[in-house]
Chain A
């Protein structure tokens, strides 16, 4: 139950990056999962293989993911004028290419990232790895930070302005293109931290990005695309639902249950809990 909540929080963090890009420019970023995977590998490479400190490895991963994300924006999404369908398809292509390239480079062996906070604590009779608590804390802090950024800082307000009306924002002197770049960097940074947390809890391998991506698609759709609050709620909900079905019926059925929940939401409320129509 508690560890399901932690997994749900990590998925929520990854889903926040997806929903941010969707809200602002209507791009469903299929590369997001590969950003998660690549930053986990970067952390493994810098922190384990080269033996540097973890606190150095994570910023390096953020830079790598951010750089790749901006490259994709400049050379893939911008030439397609952020068209929703074309960007989706091109994202799948790029994601496949990146994933199989990392199969070739890193090999199928799963790698481990050591815990930044080793040891366990006892929480009301349940033993809990400190690393998982750290992951949960980081996710919560970042979600709150994202909310504060979007509502109380100038670049954040510019982002929401572009989200509401691109032309009107342009008239107010906001450059949408630079807002897009910022959004891609923030989204990639969230993916990188998500990758760090996921990698330190579950291990690192070239396929590790695909399940969080699928989960975050489901989370984002249940919560409503583009809605931060919806993503947070749906992420927690899916995390708990997964761990309950995992305990009762076995982990493989969890995904099917998620899908059933998604279908149910679509029947009752096609745009998700807090979303708006495309």
Chain B
């Protein structure tokens, strides 16, 4: 088991050398973006809160990258951290206010926030491009590596970003701070009774989660070169939630497995357009009712001998 992780990373690194099919690399990059979103939402999800405005923070990151690289001509390597920081900065006041309410109230406020982000970007044609969005966002430099023809360089960039994100979030969830997050899940009152600053801790988790969503947005903008309010919708936030629910909440493997599986499966069957949302809705309902612990939970139940768990 100890070897599993290095072997997997080595396999992922070797993928472009074996697979010359550009399409597989494209799917890999999309998976990477979805995995970053899923683990970032999961980090806040540890406390029992789900931010339905996650796509909004992704949009803020993507918009920052688009404006910086296209209009100001800055390098992507500067825009990437700045986009993440921008999303984090916006999230601070939003989190401060929305975390005043709990549970479903929080869901609804963040949901409304995501709609407002899309609404603001759609309303102002200058400089945000309105409903048409922004096209021709330049790829990262040097262009020779990140050009349109060969996706291998971008694949490595996305892979690197995913590994760093997962490593950081894994470290956070296993740190003292992570333990505090898990304790908040058991109950706000209980956690505050042992001296935990519940609002402050939640706020930090909210900001970190928005930070990584911003990074994912930056990656999205520079890879696809086109962003619009129709991409970063509430539906996308729900997709990310479906990744987590299907994968399982209990550990970070859950969101990763869920994001990989649910990006791959629709690609394999080419479920597109109007039926995709139907499939996602049904998967969400089905896994809530049949597999409440997600794929990871179901797998552990399967491998654990009866009577030991």
Contact = CB atoms under 8 A, between A and B. Distances in A.
Interface of A: 28, 76, 79-80, 84-86, 88-90, 92-101, 103-104, 214, 217-218, 221, 225, 252-253, 255-256, 258-259, 262-263, 266-267, 270-271, 278
30 contacts: A76-B289, A79-B289, A88-B107, A89-B50, A89-B241, A89-B245, A92-B281, A93-B282, A94-B285, A95-B281, A96-B235, A97-B277, A97-B282, A99-B277, A99-B281, A100-B274, A100-B276, A100-B277, A100-B281, A218-B112, A221-B109, A253-B123, A259-B113, A262-B112, A263-B97, A263-B109, A266-B97, A266-B109, A267-B100, A278-B102
A88 B50 CA distance: 11
A252 to B, nearest CB: 5
B288 interface: yes
A90 B280 CA distance: 11
Contacts of A259: 112-113, 115-116
Given A221-B108, A259-B115, 5 more contacts: A90-B285, A99-B277, A217-B108, A225-B105, A255-B119
B100 A270 contact: yes
Contacts, number: 116
- Interface size grouping (class) on chain B: 35 or more
A78 B104 CA distance: 18
A266 B103 contact: no
Contacts of B288: 80, 86, 89-90, 93
A80 B281 CA distance: 17
Contacts of B109: 221, 262-263, 266
B119 A256 contact: yes
Contacts of A271: 101
B20 to A, nearest CB: 36
Nearest to B122: A252
B203 interface: no
Contact of B98 (A95, A101, A266): A266
Contacts of A98: 281
Nearest to B120: A256
A101 B285 contact: no
Interface string B278-292: 101111110011001
A107 B101 CA distance: 39
Residue with the highest number of chain B CB atoms closer than 10 Å, among A88, A89, A94, A262: A89
